[in-house]
């Protein structure tokens, strides 16, 4: 009987391989070994060296095992210093990624101000560029301009970049209005039917989106004759599932009521952006959102995402505990 630790390692390797969308044969080719050897490793029926684990992790671009220091860690904090000066709060990463996905709703030009320059934003830009969306940094790299093509080339999608961000799942809401069928790589390693994905599927089925999952891809079919005929009650009060439902409702030609919605700041930011696109949203900041959709959106929009409340609170706390006088600019309105 295989040792428990080999079984656990094998499961980690299998999950990482499936997340990348590879077959056992493809992984075997990358490792210069046989498919049967990979099969034995994933079943926990073969001893595996640290060197082989490292090679597998490199091939799959995934840290299979994390080795860290298990002893005590000591931190020395030297405080008692007053702070002075002024600082700008950066824009919210969570708001920016939702707005990048929402730009797919618009046939016109979108400009987002002071976009967070982080890896998740870069990954989404790689995906957008690969399907034909033109993006460029303007105003000394502070702002982002987004111009969609007339037709999206989903066959050319950068699958590696897509699989490295969970936010790719929020492409489903906008794409169901632009395409009758398309394929999208798995989002951030989550398999269809898990807690983080199934609430999206339940909500988006109400807009005619049918999903099957095979070989690392969501295969989407859209039936435009299906539309919400009663309120959508989200099975999870999550930020991204609420945002996906909003994105689907934005171009639905009718009124959509979304209940058990997240009222978090990034959801509010998306609502304000949709209003800038001409979509009316009632109930912003509550758990019931009423979306008055418009079937076509073709406007030039200039929008400033909200500031990051976590960063703002960190700066406020730093001022308080050091009894300092700081000027913190662009503090989110809910803190005032």
Domains of the chain (ranges, CATH numbers):
4-60 (1.10.260.40), 93-303 (3.65.10.10), 309-335 (no CATH)
Is the pLDDT assigned to residue 174 strictly greater than 90?
yes
- Residue 148 in this model has a pLDDT that exceeds 60: yes
Q: What share of the chain is helix, strand, coil (3-state, %, to 5)?
A: 40, 20, 40
- Mean pLDDT across the stretch 126-134? 96
pLDDT, tens digit, for every residue of 27-49? 999 998 889 889 999 988 888 88
Tokens of 207: 């807009």
- Give tens-digit pLDDT for 233-252: 999 889 999 999 999 999 99
96 among known catalytic residues? no
Q: Which residue has the higher pLDDT, 41 or 1?
A: 41
| pLDDT (tens digit per residue) in 151-166 | 999 999 999 889 888 8
Q: Average pLDDT in the 200-216 region? A: 90
pLDDT at 211 over 80: yes
| 317 compared with 333, residue with greater pLDDT | 317
| pLDDT computed for residue 214 by the predictor | 82
Is the pLDDT higher at 284 or at 227? 284
Which residues, including other chains, have CB under 8 Å from residue 315's CB and lie 6 or more apart? 87, 89, 326, 328
Lowest model confidence (mean pLDDT) among 75-79, 246-250, 262-266: 75-79
Catalytic residue among 96, 101, 190, 271: 190
What pLDDT score was predicted for residue 192? 45
- pLDDT class for 195, splitting at 50, 70, 90? very low
Q: Summarize the confidence of residues 279-302 as an average pLDDT.
A: 96
191 pLDDT more than 80 = no
Q: CB–CB of 228/234 below 8 Å?
A: no
The token pair that represents 147 in the structure block: 């111009």
Mean pLDDT across the chain, nearest whole number? Answer: 88
Of 204-208, 222-226, 325-329, which gets the smallest average pLDDT? 325-329
Mean pLDDT of 53-69: 77
What is the band of 190 on the pLDDT scale with cuts at 50, 70, 90? very low
pLDDT mean over 167-194: 81
Task: Quickly state the pLDDT bin for 144 (edges 50, 70, 90).
Answer: very high
Instruction: Give pLDDT, residue 289.
Output: 98
Question: Of 107, 85, 112, 13, which is closest to residue 54 (Cα–Cα)?
Answer: 13
- The mean pLDDT value for 56-77 works out to 72
Is residue 69's pLDDT more than 60?
no
What percent of the chain clears pLDDT 70, i.e. is strictly above it? Answer: 92
For residue 236 the two structure tokens come to 């999870």
pLDDT at 288 over 50: yes
Confidence at 334, pLDDT banded by 50, 70, 90:
low
For residues 113 and 142, is the Cβ–Cβ distance under 8 A? yes
pLDDT at 143 over 90: yes
Sign of CA dihedral 239, 244, 248, 251: positive
b/e per residue 137-157 (b: at least 16 CB within 10 A): eeeeeebbebbbeeebebeeb
pLDDT at 46 (0 to 100): 84
* Confidence at residue 239, expressed as pLDDT on a 0 to 100 scale: 94
Cβ(46)–Cβ(37) below 8 Å:
yes
What is the band of 325 on the pLDDT scale with cuts at 50, 70, 90? confident
Tokens describing residue 233? 């009650």
Q: Which helix (H) or strand (E) holds 240?
A: helix 239-250
């Amino acid at each position: 009987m295989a040792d428990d630790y080999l079984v656990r390692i094998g499961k980690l390797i299998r999950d990482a391989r499936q997340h990348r969308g590879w077959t056992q044969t493809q992984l075997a080719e990358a490792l210069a070994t046989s498919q049967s050897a990979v099969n034995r490793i994933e079943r926990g029926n073969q001893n595996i060296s640290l060197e082989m684990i490292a090679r597998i992790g490199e091939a799959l671009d995934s840290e299979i095992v994390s080795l860290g220091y298990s002893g005590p860690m000591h931190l020395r904090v030297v405080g008692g210093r007053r702070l002075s000066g002024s600082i700008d709060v950066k824009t919210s990463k969570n708001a920016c990624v939702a707005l990048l996905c929402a730009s797919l709703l618009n046939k016109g030009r979108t400009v987002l101000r002071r976009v967070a320059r982080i890896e998740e934003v870069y990954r989404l830009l790689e995906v957008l560029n690969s399907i034909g969306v033109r993006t460029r940094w303007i105003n000394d790299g502070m702002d982002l301009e987004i111009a969609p093509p007339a037709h999206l080339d989903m066959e050319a999608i950068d699958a590696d970049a897509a699989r490295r961000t969970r936010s790719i799942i929020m492409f489903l809401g906008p794409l169901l209005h632009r395409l009758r069928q398309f394929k999208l790589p798995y989002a951030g390693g989550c398999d269809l039917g898990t807690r983080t994905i199934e609430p999206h599927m339940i909500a988006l089925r109400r807009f005619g989106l049918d999903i099957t999952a095979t070989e690392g891809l969501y295969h989407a079919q859209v039936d435009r004759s299906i539309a919400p005929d009663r309120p959508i009650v989200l099975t999870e009060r999550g930020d991204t599932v609420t945002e996906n439902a909003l994105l689907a409702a934005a171009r639905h030609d009718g009124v959509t009521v979304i209940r058990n919605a997240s009222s978090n700041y990034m959801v509010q930011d998306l609502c304000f952006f949709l209003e800038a696109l001409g979509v009316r949203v009632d109930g912003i900041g509550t758990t019931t959102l009423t979306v008055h959709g418009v079937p076509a959106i073709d406007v030039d929009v200039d929008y400033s995402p909200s500031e990051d409340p976590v960063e703002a609170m960190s700066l406020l706390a730093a001022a308080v505990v050091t009894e300092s006088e700081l000027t913190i600019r662009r503090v989110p309105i809910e803190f005032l």
